[in-house]
Structure 1
Amino acid sequence: MNIPASTYRVQLSSAFPFKALKKIVAYLDEMNISTIYASPVFQARKGSSHGYDVTNPLKINKEIGTLEELQEISEDLRYRGMSWLQDIVPNHMAYDSSNTWLCDVLENGSASPYYEFFDINWKDQKTGERVMAPFLGEALEDVVQKGELTIRYDKDTFNFYYFDNRYPVSIKSYPQIISIIQSIIEKRLSRHNRTYNHLEDIAKGIENTSSNVSNWQQYKVELHQLFEQDEELRDSVITATEIISSSRELLLELLSHQHFQLLYSKNTEKEINYRRFFTINDLICLKMEETEVFDTYHQLIKKLCHNELFNGLRIDHIDGLFDPETYLNRLRKLVGPKQYIIIEKILGWEEALPDLWPIQGTSGYGFLALVNQLYTDINGEQKFTNAYQSINPGKESYEKLVYNKKLFILKERMAGELSNLYDLMLQLGFLKPSQKREVWAEALASFIAAFPVYRIYPKTFPLSSRQIDIIEEAYETALTGQPSLRKELDYIRNIFYGNSDQPVASALCFLQRCQQYTGPLAAKGVEDTIFYIYNRLISHNEVGDSPRHFGIVPTTFHKRMIQREKHAPLSINATATHDTKRGEDARMRINTLSEIPDEWFAKVNEWRHLNNSFKSKPGIPDYNEEYFIYQTLIGALPQTEVSKESFEQRTKDYIRKVLREAKVHTNWSEPDEAYEEAVFNFISSILESQGFMASFKPFSRKTAFWGAIHSLGQCLIKTTAPGIPDIYQGTELWDLSYVDPDNRRPVDYDLRVQILRETKENENNPRYFHKLLENMSDGRIKMFTLFRALRERRLNQKVFDFGEYLPLEITGRLKDHVISYARRLHTDWYIVIIPKCIATFCNDLSIPVGVSIWHDTSIMIPKEAPRSLTNIFTGGQLDINAKLYMHEGLSKFPVAMLKGSNDS
């Protein structure tokens, strides 16, 4: 298996295509990156900035480049001993006119070979065997009245147009359109001409061909050839489309015969007859559990894996699939044992991956959470909780907030999905039409919203004890919230356990179907709602992490790393991704606040009084939002000179998203722009206020300094702990970005190449070393740390892939401010030393090195460890005995990676 030594995530798009990627391969190689980790490369919607809106999985996205360019990059990687990890999207595709499979369905209905590819309920009685197309800005009648919906003939096909949206006319409707064209020709010429008769033959041919797509296509070709050859026909076709477009009756009558139903976009908040990605109408899900769908979708993926252009796969949104285990087994069989496979998966705090899945691990959100919690001072929790309650008084507990917001999303944004699950209960015989729909829907909603994890993975009954525990926890939460529904909740629980009066297969089908929605519900209710409301310490409002937790002690971290080394040693170690809510170094800055709660909340109160006059409208922003803004600035305010206007605009764009995701005073569907503008004015005012900035900047300099030291430790842990280190594009330097699209801005690689060159040229230059420490704000010190650590990782990869993880005991006055561990394989050793929670003893912003800082603090060294070690950052040699004093390990640099061997 081609196991990466390290990965580098790139977001490919028209702004950063293969040509641009090719230019930085040498740089990545010099940085000691082993593997390019690419966002989806398959044909996507025009202008896609991320690639997850795939329209054709059998082609390379032409906006990114060509297959030949990918092959050239692959050859270069192979020459350098590098590899390629590819992100793929099996759960969904774009609901878009460039999606040829879907358009074939819309045109040919049940005759289409792709009719069963998409997760559509064709038996929905409300739509009459038509898939909903919920993309109108208002009701269909109003759209037609305004003349915004038209019909045109282009590219040999009749299409409905709604602005840039195109929907192919059903082939069975062609005779109706042809009859209108014939009537025009008859008026202009007569019905006794060759064109009229030819059209008659085409119309009859289509009507008499029963569900034969190839014959239908032949008639379409004949019509188009006639159109190209006959000027009179061209004029008549144009006139016919103009007549239909201008006639309300004709348009609506023609629409009633299509395989799709045009609707107002907000209709999907109450009803929907296809599965979508989260609550995004224009991402339609696939029935990947069907063998034909799997085989067809993965044709190019299989080819590129077998040709070794892809050396590994990352599976997006595994929790969206009906049967993830079967999918992964099929995938492993398809691509072979050598492919490195990871999945995008959000795990609960005590949750583990199923043992039988044929994968190497996850894409790293759990690791991010652990490091984030490690750098939060658990001793500050109570003070933060008390102070935050005064900022946001009278609010429910975090656990209850989670439950209620998930219920809100389910009822107000995903009520259509809830209705479909209720209908499935009817279809499977679990309920009768005579039973009260509202009561049972409420019970089902309460149960689903109460799931404490994204989902479970039932394959058969009886369920595992872990699965039963999760269902039982959901049941108890739902019952607490809805005690009057005990009878209904008991019944649903029995279905989930397979103890109903219906066939076991029906119960399993229903449970698996429910599990396809518990994940999206958690994502929308928690990540995209609560993470913008519950603001106690927003560094933990992060994908994979949870604001429920407030720090862990080193022993907990060590325990988790030992488990990781045993069960998932090849998982990705991520600290920033395209989905994270803020930059990895911004989180470290915000985490430092946990170390100084008294000083922090004193400052918050001071700023609140200073800035009260800048609120153009009383209470806007509210105190909770204002508190969020101050934390945001702590994390994101640059310490070097940058464009003030650029930072201010980026911050406003981010806060707009924050306010709308929170759904308290404004939202995406019905934005309160006046409220938002008042918040933006507040932000502009405080950034321009001399009084506020005179107080904020000195405090910000301290948190930025402490955060930088913590960030270096984060880099070193990521590189040396069990797992594969991942660098998100551009984060070799400080990453203070906001959530997407801010974290997908162009990366200045010329600057990074220049800094790397300086780093290598000054390998043994003590002046450059001191320059790094004296000018930490430019980020060079972060690249230096990564470069040296990644080099060791690449040179001695087996130590980190398969070596033992050994926690090391700390003694001395500052023992609680150090984390240290060893990685050992046979005779090769690495010892890692990292400070944490340094604010209390580095208040003068001095680098935490030397005896004056660390005094008697020491690390107990195992007797079997080498007695001579080399510091990979400073080059210094250390001769040690039973203990290593911190001031020896951290004599010049704030983190240490010491290597040695027992080989004689």
Structure 2
Amino acid sequence: MSEPGPDIPSGTYRIQLFGLDGSRYLGFEEAGALAPYLEALGVSHAYLSPILQAAPGSTHGYDVVDHGLVSEELGGLDGYRAMVGRFHEHGLQVMVDVVPNHMAVPDPPELNGPLAGVIEEGPESPYARWFDVDWEAGGGRIILPGDGEPNYRRFFDISGLIALRQEDPEVFARTHSQILILIAEGLIDALRIDHPDGLTDPRGYLERLSTAVSELGPPPWTVVEKITTGAERLPSDWRCAGTTGYDALGVVGGLFIDPEGEEPLTDAYTAFTSGPRGFTGVEYECRRYAALHGLRPEVARLHRVLCRVLDVPEEDAERRDDLREALVGLLAAMPVYRAYVVPGEPPPQQAVDVLEEALRRARERVPSRLSRDLDLIVRLALGHDPQGGGDGAAAEFVVRFQQTCAPVAAKGGEDTAFYRWSRMIALNEVGGDPERFSVSPEEFHEYCAEMARVRPWTMTTLSTHDTKRQEDARARLAVLAELPEQWRAAVESWRRWDPKGSPMEPELEYLLWQTLVGSWPVSEDRLAEFLTKAMREAKTRSSWLEPDRDYENAVIGHARRALNNADLVARVIGFVSLLEPYARVNALGQKLVQLTMPGVPDVYQGCELTGPAMVDPDNRRPVDYDARRARLVRLDDGQPPRDLDDEKLLVTSRALRLRRHRPDWFASAHERVAASGQAASNAVAFLRGEALTVATRLPRGLERGGGWADTHLHATAARWRDVLTGEVHQGPLLGLADVLRTYPVALLVPDALDFDGNGASA
């Protein structure tokens, strides 16, 4: 494994910038003021959400309207320079989120200059090459949302975001000019690339970006927001360090879920909802729904290209309908977000395997009479042109098929099916597979060894601005797998709290009870906001496009009354209290593992303390940094943790500081450390260099089995010191009952190391 370069982060901290109507909540000035705290916390890079000019009222920055302008709402270019100066004074570098896939369709559209030109001049505009517009469908003009069904490719199904054609060198140059200037001036040190799967050629885009930045100096550390699924890995020829960490999130989370809970929790779920035992069929139908409804314009355009490639006339309605049905079936059956085929190049084996798997799955779902059409579409998607070149339609089909796969997967899966199948919502996470119930220690260590070998500087994370629920909510819900019978009894009793009955669909109600348990305490307004989103995402009784206000009001009213029922609330609190000792173990364990495993760890804003938030916008609420500063000062003064928040802050700061102090250790291989004894399966331990991570898993089972007793770790050094407690432990045989006496985790270093974890606080 290569040594870390000077610009490889030891740890990043994600900051959600926010500016609105001239009054900033967290702009460049406020972000810069966090520099002393972030230095004390132990990170090396401040990781910023998009910094360019966004649409008026933007709360996230991904709706860019001007790539040549640093956001005025956030503080403008001068404010950005001042912020970076503050960071640099404290030894921090800056990472920026880049949005190449799309721009905003603002209100009024004239706020987006290039788009305004296309609206006025149509395909004759010099900016027409910027956007992916279906001129045929619009009769030579661009159709906006407030005028009918949009005729441009969008970000997923969001009509307020219009896709960019980054394959065009001029578009790339114009939309990256300001970012490249800031890199050249030393004001950006690392990059996060948003949604490359929406681009015509992600590999080609990254090559162009790498070439452009290499001309300015050492290339910045770059990661991409790429969702991998199952055994899928980032293509090896992409010029980036890795992903933004959803793959690591799923592996780490699964490590702390008891596989023995799968069957009883499935039984509890099906008994409550009468829903299916498996997720696959639900996901397929939801993907079909997305393809036929929210993503209908994109699928219709792809279908027209397909018919043009095959020379099927419009008069042959039956044939065209068959092709549409087969196409939708194949899109819905894709096992991953995208297959990476470049027109004119032999398809990589990974793409062949993906499309063959999609073909197998589709054959199980679509009528047998469409089997030959499925075969034909797969051949076309792999770049086999039956016309031998034709008018370029075959190449266009290859690209558009891939660009349509990703939104079908995302909108049908995580934004629909995840709200319709709620067996265990800790698993219903971005990049996750709700049917993959748990991850064994063997699988975890195999994953880590692979990442250390092939993508040592990929990002790891447990929470982001897009996660369905924050890490500590998942840690608490993971305990249900160890208490399935208690959960089943509790949820069956709670559903009977109202003698008038519930207006909720059973699936939504089961989701509600898990949400209350995972995110308790929850206010009425926060819960109402979550339930509204859940109903509209599920699209069974309500939706974003056609909200059923009567149903929504009935559900929200029922939920509000539940939160005001003293007896019910007492029972929910009692159940949460039952989970808390075990949730603590999971929360601290998954955090330490994520911070020390192979990769570059990110801490999402505020998650150095416990954060049981729900999906956005709940997980983007203001963060109380004053409270965090005060807690860190107390810990650095030698005062013991007072609560779980302090304990998590201790784990986070000491692990990040150690990584910053000894980056060479965390550039080394991942080495599993074996345990022996009656509770060996409850321990997960590994070495990174000379740092030994120890965490507890499945705490309820450990308790039932009588604790650690004679369980030992077979370590190497003679004397170890725990940077969390300062205690020294005699090796090389380490008794876990002793090592984990204070906390359910330990971060051990050789006793001779001149590092105690303390540092100058903010």
Q: Aligned letter for 2:371? A: R
Matches within 5 A, 1:510-589: 510-589=397-476
Residue 677 of structure 2 corresponds to residue 812 of structure 1? yes
Deviates more, 1:421-430 or 1:749-758: 421-430
- Residue 280 of structure 2 is matched in structure 1 by 399
- Residue 736 of structure 2 is matched in structure 1 by 886
- Residue 353 of structure 1 is matched in structure 2 by 234
Residue 387 of structure 2 corresponds to residue 502 of structure 1? yes
3-state DSSP of counterpart to 1:64: coil
Shift of residue 277, structure 1, vs aligned partner: 0.7
Q: Distance in 1 between matches of 2:32 and 2:695?
A: 36
Alignment match of 1:112 (pick from 114, 117, 125): 125
Alpha-carbon distance change, 430 to 902 in structure 1, aligned in 2, over 3 angstroms: farther
Q: Distance in 2 between matches of 1:33 and 1:511?
A: 42
What TM-score does the superposition give when structure 2 sets the normalisation length? 0.93
What TM-score does the superposition give when structure 1 sets the normalisation length? 0.79
Structure 1 segments, 4+ long, off by >6 Å, are 901-904
Q: Distance in 2 between matches of 1:702 and 1:563?
A: 37
3-state DSSP of counterpart to 1:831: strand
Residue 469 of structure 2 corresponds to residue 601 of structure 1? no
Residue 535 of structure 2 corresponds to residue 668 of structure 1? no
Deviations 1:555-605 (A, max 9, x none): 110111101111111111111100001111011000110111111111112
3-state DSSP of counterpart to 1:132: coil
Deviations 1:681-738 (A, max 9, x none): 2222222223223322121112133112211111111111001111111111110111
Residue 345 of structure 2 corresponds to residue 480 of structure 1? no
Q: Distance in 1 between matches of 2:229 and 2:568?
A: 40
Alpha-carbon distance change, 31 to 614 in structure 1, aligned in 2, over 3 angstroms: farther
Alignment match of 2:42 (pick from 12, 32, 36): 32
Shift of residue 428, structure 1, vs aligned partner: 3.7
Contact 2:35 2:92 in 1 (8 A): no
Contact 2:273 2:507 in 1 (8 A): yes
Matches within 5 A, 1:254-265: 262-263=147-148
Q: Distance in 2 between matches of 1:781 and 1:550?
A: 28
Shift of residue 750, structure 1, vs aligned partner: 1.2
Alpha-carbon distance change, 495 to 68 in structure 1, aligned in 2, over 3 angstroms: same
- Residue 22 of structure 2 is matched in structure 1 by none
Shift of residue 507, structure 1, vs aligned partner: 3.3
Residue 16 of structure 2 corresponds to residue 11 of structure 1? yes
Matches within 5 A, 1:704-719: 704-719=580-595
Matches within 5 A, 1:607-686: 607-609=494-496, 611-613=497-499, 615=501, 619-638=502-521, 647-686=523-562
Residue 647 of structure 2 corresponds to residue 796 of structure 1? no
Alpha-carbon distance change, 364 to 394 in structure 1, aligned in 2, over 3 angstroms: closer
Contact 2:337 2:406 in 1 (8 A): yes
- Residue 283 of structure 1 is matched in structure 2 by 161
Q: Distance in 2 between matches of 1:434 and 1:471?
A: 30
3-state DSSP of counterpart to 1:725: strand
Residue 633 of structure 2 corresponds to residue 757 of structure 1? yes
Q: Distance in 1 between matches of 2:449 and 2:296?
A: 43
- Residue 835 of structure 1 is matched in structure 2 by 696
Residue 740 of structure 2 corresponds to residue 856 of structure 1? no
Q: Distance in 1 between matches of 2:128 and 2:507?
A: 49
Which structure carries more relative contact order (alpha carbon 8 Å, separation 6+)?
A: 2
Contact 1:322 1:516 in 2 (8 A): yes
Shift of residue 132, structure 1, vs aligned partner: 0.7
Alpha-carbon distance change, 498 to 22 in structure 1, aligned in 2, over 3 angstroms: closer
Q: Distance in 2 between matches of 1:873 and 1:675?
A: 51
- Residue 874 of structure 1 is matched in structure 2 by 725
Q: Distance in 2 between matches of 1:508 and 1:130?
A: 24
Contact 1:866 1:902 in 2 (8 A): no
- Residue 173 of structure 1 is matched in structure 2 by none
Shift of residue 376, structure 1, vs aligned partner: 0.9
Q: Aligned letter for 1:363? A: T
Q: Distance in 1 between matches of 2:623 and 2:753?
A: 43
Q: Distance in 2 between matches of 1:590 and 1:118?
A: 43
Shift of residue 75, structure 1, vs aligned partner: 2.2
Residue 378 of structure 2 corresponds to residue 493 of structure 1? yes
Cα root mean square deviation, aligned: 1.9
Contact 1:458 1:508 in 2 (8 A): no
- Residue 210 of structure 2 is matched in structure 1 by 332
Contact 2:305 2:396 in 1 (8 A): no
Q: Distance in 1 between matches of 2:393 and 2:547?
A: 42
Shift of residue 842, structure 1, vs aligned partner: 4.3
Residue 144 of structure 2 corresponds to residue 133 of structure 1? yes
3-state DSSP of counterpart to 2:463: coil
- Residue 425 of structure 1 is matched in structure 2 by 306
Q: Distance in 1 between matches of 2:526 and 2:700?
A: 29
Matches within 5 A, 1:214-253: none
Alpha-carbon distance change, 426 to 565 in structure 1, aligned in 2, over 3 angstroms: same
Alpha-carbon distance change, 110 to 491 in structure 1, aligned in 2, over 3 angstroms: closer
Contact 1:85 1:310 in 2 (8 A): yes
Q: Aligned letter for 1:589? A: R
Shift of residue 384, structure 1, vs aligned partner: 1.4
Shift of residue 395, structure 1, vs aligned partner: 3.3
Q: Aligned letter for 2:680? A: K
- Residue 757 of structure 2 is matched in structure 1 by none
Alignment match of 1:464 (pick from 322, 340, 348): 348
Contact 2:166 2:199 in 1 (8 A): yes
Shift of residue 840, structure 1, vs aligned partner: 3.4
Q: Aligned letter for 2:358? A: A
Shift of residue 898, structure 1, vs aligned partner: 0.4
Q: Distance in 1 between matches of 2:192 and 2:459?
A: 10
Shift of residue 3, structure 1, vs aligned partner: 0.6
Could you tell me which runs of 5 or more consecutive residues in structure 1 were left unpaired when the two chains were aligned.
Answer: 136-261, 639-645, 763-767
Alpha-carbon distance change, 283 to 902 in structure 1, aligned in 2, over 3 angstroms: same
Q: Distance in 2 between matches of 1:419 and 1:679?
A: 35
3-state DSSP of counterpart to 1:90: coil
3-state DSSP of counterpart to 2:684: strand
Contact 2:679 2:702 in 1 (8 A): no
Identity percentage of aligned residues: 34
- Residue 605 of structure 2 is matched in structure 1 by 729
- Residue 179 of structure 1 is matched in structure 2 by none
Contact 1:806 1:823 in 2 (8 A): yes
Contact 2:32 2:84 in 1 (8 A): no
Q: Aligned letter for 1:859? A: L
Q: Aligned letter for 2:120? A: E
- Residue 748 of structure 2 is matched in structure 1 by 898
Q: Distance in 1 between matches of 2:740 and 2:185?
A: 47
Could you tell me which runs of 5 or more consecutive residues in structure 2 were left unpaired when the two chains were aligned.
Answer: 20-24, 755-762
Contact 1:430 1:502 in 2 (8 A): no
Shift of residue 500, structure 1, vs aligned partner: 4.0
Deviates more, 1:74-83 or 1:331-340: 74-83
Shift of residue 789, structure 1, vs aligned partner: 1.3
Q: Distance in 1 between matches of 2:122 and 2:411?
A: 32
Q: Distance in 1 between matches of 2:354 and 2:236?
A: 17
3-state DSSP of counterpart to 1:395: coil
3-state DSSP of counterpart to 1:896: strand
Number of equivalent positions: 732
3-state DSSP of counterpart to 1:356: coil
Q: Distance in 2 between matches of 1:331 and 1:614?
A: 61
Shift of residue 430, structure 1, vs aligned partner: 4.8
Residue 573 of structure 2 corresponds to residue 694 of structure 1? no
Q: Distance in 2 between matches of 1:614 and 1:574?
A: 44
Alpha-carbon distance change, 842 to 396 in structure 1, aligned in 2, over 3 angstroms: closer
